[in-house]
Structure 1
Amino acid sequence: MELRGFSDGYGIQVASWAVDAKEVALLSGRVEYPFPEELRTNWRRPDSDIHSYLLFDGDRPVGYGEVWLDDEEDEVELARIIVDPELRGRGVGGELVRALLGPALDAGYSEVFLRVRPENAAAIRAYHGSGFVDVPAALMEEWNVGQPVPYRWMRYAGEPEQEQAGLGELRG
């Protein structure tokens, strides 16, 4: 699979992956279903600190995600991650997150974070499997002040332990 920059020509397809109002809200911040018409063709702002990507399997886009750069906080946030509903549960989400870590880490900021709804068990498994851990509860509570919902905040801690162990065995 290959991570590529997002082009607006895929906006309608990615918008169709949001299967209910909750998923539309995660992608757009708007509680509407289906995905708002005006956002389908005007998906991103190329002059912002938000970088949009698609994960491709051959010529087929299978996942979408954003890398938000924050100079003031010296951090990156992975956001608006979604996988084609036909491919969910097959590890594509984990591959997408690991691919997004490339540009996130290359940006040179000190931390990489993401937020997820606590009930999204599949996404949380993918994030754990990609090296993310929960931030301390007090910090999570602080960051949730003013948020539309209480998120589970996670930070990138490096390669997951099982991958580190496997790499050590290969090297040793």
Structure 2
Amino acid sequence: MELRPFEGSYTALVASWAGSAQEVALLSGREDFPFPPELVDSWRKVAEDIQPYLFFDGVDPVGYGELWLDDEEDEVELARIIVAPALRGKGIGTDFVRALLGQALAAGLADVFLRVRPENEAAIKTYLRVGFQPVDERLAAEWNEPQPIEYAWLQYPTKSEA
């Protein structure tokens, strides 16, 4: 398995992994179905501090995810993580999140976070297995205040918390 920077030639493939309106909502907060490939392509063009990645099993991509780097806040957020449908439930997501986490930690920022829809139980189990922990309820409530929907917020324990 190998993590590589995202290439636009895989845009339609990644968009096809969201196989229902519910999966589109979990991935993007939108309900466009089928998921428009142009939207996936636009994500990588939004800002320089968003780093999109593909996770490869040999020659085939099996996962997509992003790192959102925020130097001003000294933090990085893992975002928009999706695994190819045929490979879900086989440990690929855990390996993929570990690989993204490695890149996030290598960025050298103090804190590593992610947010996830509370109903996305499979993803939450994966993140907890990798070592992420729920943030304090008051902090989660504060972070959810400006959001259009409520998220479960998780943090990876880093040196800044020691």
User: Separation in 1 of the partners of 2:127 and 2:80?
Assistant: 13
Structure 2 residue 4 is matched with structure 1 residue 4: yes
1:157 counterpart residue number: 157
Deviations 1:91-136 (A, max 9, x none): 1111110000121111110000000111111111110111100000
User: Displacement of 1:43 after TM fit?
Assistant: 4.8
Question: Which protein is bigger by CA-based radius of gyration?
Answer: 1
CA contact (8 A) 1:3 1:53 kept: yes
Q: 1:122 to 1:9 in 2, by over 3 A?
A: same
Q: Structure 2 counterpart of 1:89, which letter? A: G
Helix, strand or coil: the match of 1:122?
A: helix
1:77 counterpart residue number: 77
1:146 counterpart residue number: 146
The root-mean-square deviation of aligned C-alpha atoms, in Å, is 1.6
Q: Structure 2 counterpart of 1:137, which letter? A: E
TM-score (norm 1): 0.86
CA contact (8 A) 1:51 1:68 kept: yes
Structure with greater contact order relative to length (CA < 8 Å, sep ≥ 6)? 2
User: Separation in 2 of the partners of 1:76 and 1:3?
Assistant: 17
User: Separation in 1 of the partners of 2:136 and 2:40?
Assistant: 36
Unaligned 5+ residue runs, structure 2?
none
Unaligned 5+ residue runs, structure 1?
159-172
Q: 1:61 to 1:37 in 2, by over 3 A?
A: closer
1:98 counterpart residue number: 98
Identical-pair percentage: 61
User: Separation in 2 of the partners of 1:82 and 1:156?
Assistant: 19
